[in-house]
Amino acid sequence: MEGNRSKPLLRVPSPSLYDFTFQELTDWVVDQGQPPYRARQVFRSLYRNPPVRIPEMSDLPKEFRKLLSDSFPQEGPASVQTQRSSDGTVKHLSRLSDGQFLETVLIPSGTRQTCSEPSRRTVCVSTQVGCAYSCAFCASGQLGLKRDLTAGEIVQQILLVQRVTNVVFMGMGEPLANYENLLKAIRILNAPEGLKIGARRITISTVGLVPMIERLAKENLQVELSVSLHAPNDELRGKLMPVNRKYPLSELIPAAKAYSRATKRMITFEYILIDGVNDGEGEARQLRKLLQGLLCKVNLIPCHPTPGTPWKHPPLSRMISFEKLLRLKGIPCTLRRSRGLDIEGACGQLRLRYNQ
């Protein structure tokens, strides 16, 4: 099974309260001989923004606080550095309990200030330390996979940031290769007793792990799915993304279609435009053909510079022509503005600078 491929390579950190769904916490509280309403009290404190630490949970009896601290001594990720981009993007670097580092990026959208559509605050969350998939253009894969993040470590990244409206699993790692922890984290984020972030405000981005997309379709969760496509044919995609040799387009596209049918959600395809590599008229036409009849949209992303690769994005005029060619056949398409480039917080730039 694909999910086993990314077995943690290092010791799994001891459990934290952030690993618990509300139901699991209730079961644990009852097992300790406490009334079930204590679970609600604890959960509320954990997901207050900023979160309340165990010693400050003043609505709990002292002995119960001691029991909590003794049972869950782990502190969780500690923020060690915050960098702000001139465009408002903020990158947080945290140290995990085993000394690994992870990055989380807040991307505010300053443009939607009306009452009906308040401005978004999207947090871009990592699911693994490093990545096993070695996409040729991406910095995260350059050092390989270090380990999976626990559900609690995934969830706690959202708490680094206040007033989150949307969550995208587009940070370091391949979310669907850490399937169990990812799903658990989503259930914790959804919980009405906690952060109440609806599934439709959550996006999972994947390199295209077909069996896991099929599994996700059966979960009865309405999360958005984003597929990193980056090439319209197997030959080119296989060069840019080695995973394509295992799951070619003839399997990936039907899996995306089935996901869209099962969840009634529109699929997003991410397509990095790389100068002279995948940005020609021929590729635009192939892409159009490939996606015909699919409920989808395409996000065109200018390729960001990554250390160790020669690639850059095409001139703006070519990116606009590519976008027009797709639109011509009615494929909804946006040319994304790059955010956070000056702090290396843009897509593909989250790198394990500290994890060498």
Residue tagged active-site, from 2, 103, 174, 344 = 103
Question: Is 296 marked active-site?
Answer: no
Question: Is 124 marked active-site?
Answer: no
| Nearer to ligand SAH among residue 21 and residue 306 (C-beta) | 306
Distance CA 239, CA 236 (A): 5
Strands (E) across 22-127 are located at: 78-84, 90-95, 101-108, 121-124
| Nearer to ligand SAH among residue 296 and residue 347 (C-beta) | 347
Helices (H), the chain: 22-31, 37-46, 62-71, 151-158, 179-190, 210-217, 234-240, 249-263, 281-290, 316-328
Which residues share a beta bridge with 103? 93
| φ, ψ dihedrals at 321, nearest 5° | -65, -40
In the complex, minimum distance from the CB of residue 227 to ligand SAH, in angstroms, rounded to a whole number: 7
In the complex, minimum distance from the CB of residue 293 to ligand SAH, in angstroms, rounded to a whole number: 23
| Nearer to ligand SAH among residue 26 and residue 244 (C-beta) | 244
Q: How many CA atoms lie within 13 A of 67 on its CB side?
A: 13
**Which residues here bind ligand SAH, judged by CB under 6 A?**
137-138, 170, 174, 205-207, 228, 270, 272, 301, 303-304, 306, 347-348
| Nearer to ligand SAH among residue 68 and residue 243 (C-beta) | 243
Helices (H), 117-197: 151-158, 179-190
In the complex, minimum distance from the CB of residue 34 to ligand SAH, in angstroms, rounded to a whole number: 39
| Nearer to ligand SAH among residue 45 and residue 89 (C-beta) | 89
In the complex, minimum distance from the CB of residue 6 to ligand SAH, in angstroms, rounded to a whole number: 11
- Degrees, nearest 5: CA angle 98-99-103: 110
Of all residues in this chain, which one has the CB nearest to ligand SAH in the complex? Answer: 348
Contact 350, 103 (CB under 8 A): yes
Tokens of 320: 């606009």
In the complex, minimum distance from the CB of residue 152 to ligand SAH, in angstroms, rounded to a whole number: 20
Residue tagged active-site, from 131, 135, 333, 347 = 347
By CB atoms closer than 10 A (0-12, 13-18, 19+), residue 318 is: middle
Q: Which residues are catalytic?
A: 103, 347
